[in-house]
């Protein structure tokens, strides 16, 4: 089941009174997703094949931290490590809360891991990973200006903006 919440600009007092995304009893909430990337997060979680989870999405919500953000809440859902890794690439620094009985049991910031295994395609056409059954491996290279990923095999770099998920 899907419910959507889409925000319009209102004054701050009215905005703070409106609960755009209802609380959930059991499941996960992913907050501080960059505006427009909620659907990418849902693609990663493969929700169109998931008949057991109830999904609530907020798009273009106001955020004091980011200006604008998306939010996704999924009831009755556990999340796998590889899904978290993929989400970190489309929503770096998003927060994930694990909810039980309407309470947040645990909360963490989704960080891009230092090493990414079999998650990203190499953008170098001549890389062996694009021609033979070899799982990709990438190392994160981060400086103040940008985040890049170095292919373990062909040693070429791919920027965060260029990456293609497998």
Partner 1 sequence: MTKFKGKSVISINDFSRNDIIKILETAKKIENKKYKNLLRGKILATLFFEPSTRTRLSFESAMERLGGRVIGFSDASTTSAKKGETLHDTIKMVEKYSDIIVIRHNLDGAARVASESTKKPVINAGDGANQHPTQTLLDLYTIKKTQGKISNLKIAIVGDLKYGRTAHSLATALSLFDCELYFISPAELCMPKEIIDCLNERKIKHQEFEDIEKVIPLVDILYMTRIQRERFVDQNEYEKVKNAYVLTKEMLTGAKNNLKILHPLPRVNEIDSNVDETNHAYYFEQAANGIPIRQAVLCLLLGALK
3-state secondary structure of 25: coil
User: CA-CA-CA-CA torsion for 56, 60, 63, 67, nearest 10 degrees?
Assistant: 160
- State in angstroms the smallest separation of the CB of 166 from partner 1: 16
- State in angstroms the smallest separation of the CB of 141 from partner 1: 9
Q: Which is nearer to partner 1, 35 or 153 (CB)?
A: 153
Look up residue 109 and give its two tokens. Answer: 């910031």
Q: Which is nearer to partner 1, 106 or 146 (CB)?
A: 146
Look up residue 118 and give its two tokens. Answer: 């079999």
Do 126 and 154 form a contact (C-beta atoms < 8 A)? yes
- State in angstroms the smallest separation of the CB of 90 from partner 1: 24
- State in angstroms the smallest separation of the CB of 131 from partner 1: 6
Residue 71-110 contact track with partner 1, rule CB under 8 A, x = bound: ----------------------------------------
Please give the residues from 104 up to 163 whose contact with partner 1 meets the rule CB under 8 A: 124, 126-129, 131-134, 151-157
Do 92 and 149 form a contact (C-beta atoms < 8 A)? no
Burial 49-71 (b: 16+ CB within 10 A, else e): eeeebbbbbbbbbebeebeebbb
Summarize as ranges the residues that interact with partner 1 (CB under 8 A). Answer: 124, 126-129, 131-134, 151-157
């Amino acid at each position: 089941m899907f419910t959507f919440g889409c925000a319009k600009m209102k004054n701050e007092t009215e905005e703070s009174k409106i609960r755009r995304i209802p609380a959930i009893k059991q499941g996960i909430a992913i907050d501080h997703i960059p505006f427009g990337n909620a659907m990418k997060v849902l693609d990663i979680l493969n929700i169109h094949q998931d008949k057991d989870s109830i999904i609530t999405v907020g798009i273009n919500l106001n955020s004091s931290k980011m200006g604008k953000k998306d939010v996704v809440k999924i009831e009755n859902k556990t999340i796998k490590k590889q899904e978290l890794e993929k989400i970190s690439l489309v929503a770096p620094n998003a927060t994930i809360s694990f909810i039980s009985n309407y309470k947040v049991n645990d909360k963490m910031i989704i960080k891009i891991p230092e090493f990414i295994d079999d998650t990203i395609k190499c953008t170098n056409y001549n890389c062996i990973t694009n021609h033979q059954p070899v799982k990709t491996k990438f190392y994160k290279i981060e400086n103040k200006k940008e985040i890049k990923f170095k292919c373990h095999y062909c040693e070429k770099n791919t920027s965060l903006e260029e990456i293609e998920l497998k």
